[in-house]
Every structure is written in structure tokens, then in C-alpha cells.
Structure 1
Amino acid sequence: MISLIGTYECKMDAKGRLMMPTAFKKQLSTVLQDGFVVKRSVFQSCLEVYPMQEWNLVMAKINKLNRFVKKNNDFIRRFTAGVKIVEVDATGRMLIPKDLCQFAELSKDIVLSSAVSIIEIWDKEKYEKVIDDSVVDFADLAEEVMGNIELDELS
């Protein structure tokens, strides 16, 4: 499993191309040639970039869902809506499809932020607002999510 680290401010050109930060390219060096899947986030108006091996792990779980259960079928359709395969070119650029740029309302100034095994792509203003809005509640959230986990369970 990949574990990414870092948050980087970048520029995106008018065609939707962004330069992959060097730190991410180094962390992803063993899987860079496999390509990536970019999709809409489930909970936020940002994009999620999955290294192909991480995407395959998620899809293995989704493929176990019974497609004859309407709720499962609806989830699969929505989870995979707008999914695209993207690659990092020889110059280190990644092209984000226009429809996904529109979904996330990406402007020229963007933020690439690690989220464990994926990278989130945010419009810079939206990212700053989400981070600022959650500061007040973060202590409570941290306690609720991580407070019941014993330290030895984390290792």
C-alpha cells in the first residue's frame, strides 16, 4: 500500500495540465508508469487521484457488491461517475479532463494534497476554506475517529 506525504500549491494551465510535484513523483516512482485514475470526490468538491494499483484495490472491494441490489448498483454508478485514466507525461505533467475540472471548479491556482494513498486536487481557495472551517471541530473529530483506537492497534 502506498502512503503519500505532502501538500503542494501548483498552477494549472488553460488546457487543464498541471506539473506533478517532484516530491510526489519520487514517492510514486515505482508506480508512475502504470498511470492513475482521477475521479470526483464522494464528500467534497475536489478530485481524487488514485495510483492504478490503489484503484485496483478499491475496485476489488466494489466488485464484491451484489449488482442485483439496487442500492449497490446506485452506489457503483455514482462512485464511478466521471472516472478517467490519466498519465504523467515525459515532462511530468498530468492532464485533468475538462468535465472533472468543472466539477471541482478548479482555477489556475490549485492544491495537491496527500490523503493516505491518494492525492486530492483542490481549487486553492476552496482548500483553504475547508481547512480553516474544520480547525474549530478538528479536536472533536480527532477524538471521535482516533480516540477509541489503542496505540498498539496502529502499529
Structure 2
Amino acid sequence: MLNITGTYECKMDAKGRLMLPTALKKQLAPELQDGFVVKRAVFNSCLELYPMAQWDLLMQRMNKLNRFNKKNNDFIRKFTAGVKIVEIDTAGRLLVPKDLVEFAQLEKEIVLSSAINIVEIWDKESYENIIAAGGEDFENQAQEVMGDIMEIPDGLS
């Protein structure tokens, strides 16, 4: 299972290209050959970069949805809106499609943030704002989401 780690700042040029930081590129090295999918995030104004293997797993799951159920069909359409297959070139650059740059309001300063098995692509200011917002809410959310997990095989808490 892929487990990407880290938050990285980088710059995007006027053509929408960004250079992957070396540490992130090393983590993604096994995935570089197969390519990536970039899409709009569901809950935030950022983008999500899926290694192709992770995208394929997600699509297998979504393919089980009944397309004759309108809610499912509408969800699939919205979830896959703007999806693009992208590659990281030999120089380690990723070209972000223009429509997705506009969606995420990406400017020159970018943050690449690991989200377990994908990478979120944020405008730096938007990322800093969302991280700074709701400190007390995060405490409650952490307790609600992680507080009941009891299985700790390696003894960490």
C-alpha cells in the first residue's frame, strides 16, 4: 500500500508546470512509469494527484455502483468532472491543465501535501488558511475520527 509522506512548497510557472520536490519524487518513483490522474477535490478548492494504481483501485470500487440509480450516476459525473491523465516528465515537472489551475485558483506559490495515498495540490495561501482555521474543531474531529480505534499492532498510540 502506498503511503506518501510530507508537505512541500514549490513554484508553478506561467504555463502551469511545477517541479516536484526531490523527496516527493523519490517517494513516487515506483509510480512514475504508470502516470497519474489529477482531478478536482470533492471538499476543497484544491486538486488531487492520484498515482494510476490508486486511481484504478478507486475506479474498481466506483464501477460497482449501479449507473441506473440517478444519485450514483450524478455522483460519478461530478466526481470525474475535469479528470485528466498526466505524466511527470524526465525533468520531474508536472503540467497542471489550465482548467484545473483555474478551479484550484493556483498562483505561483504551491503546496503539495501528502494525503496518505494521493497528493493534494494547493495554492499556498489557500492551504495555509485551511490549516489555520478551526483549531478547536480539529481537536474534536481528531477525537471523533480516531478516538475509537483500538487495534494498535505496533504498540503506538
Q: Give the structure-1-normalised TM-score.
A: 0.97
Give secondary structure in 2 for the equivalent of 1:68: coil
1:135 is displaced (CA, Å) by 2.1
What is the DSSP-based 3-state SS (H/G/I as helix, E as strand, rest coil) of the residue aligned with 1:29?
helix
3-state DSSP class of the match of 2:133?
A: helix
Partner Cα distance (1:63, 1:145) in 2: 27
After superposition, where does 1:43-58 map in structure 2 within 5 Å?
43-58=43-58
Partner of 2:91: 91
Structure 1 Cα separation of the partners of residues 68 and 153 of structure 2: 36
Q: CA deviation at 1:134?
A: 3.2
List structure 1 runs of 4+ shifted beyond 6 angstroms: none
Gaps of 5+ in 1: none
Aligned residue pairs total: 155
Paired residue secondary structure (2:67): coil
Matched with 1:109 is: 109
C-alpha deviation, 1:7, in angstroms: 0.3
Q: Report matched runs for 1:1-155 at 5 Å.
A: 1-152=1-152
User: In structure 1, how many angstroms separate the alpha carbons of the residues matched to 2:113 and 2:4?
Assistant: 9
- Equivalent-residue separation in structure 2 for 1:57 and 1:7 (angstroms): 24
Q: Deviations over 1:16-66 (max 9, x none)?
A: 000011111111111111100000000000000000000000000000000
Superposition CA RMSD, Å: 1.3
Following TM superposition, by how much is the alpha carbon of 1:153 offset from its aligned partner in structure 2, in angstroms?
Answer: 7.1
- SS at structure 2 position matched to 1:34: coil
Aligned AA for 1:37? V
Q: Which amino acid aligns with 1:63?
A: N
Question: Any gaps of 5 or more consecutive residues in structure 2?
Answer: none
| CA distances 1:107-152 after superposition (whole Å, capped 9, x unpaired) | 0001000000000000000000000003231110100001111133
Give the AA of the match of 1:82: G
Using the size of structure 2 for normalisation, the TM-score is 0.95
Q: Distance in 2 between matches of 1:81 and 1:44?
A: 15
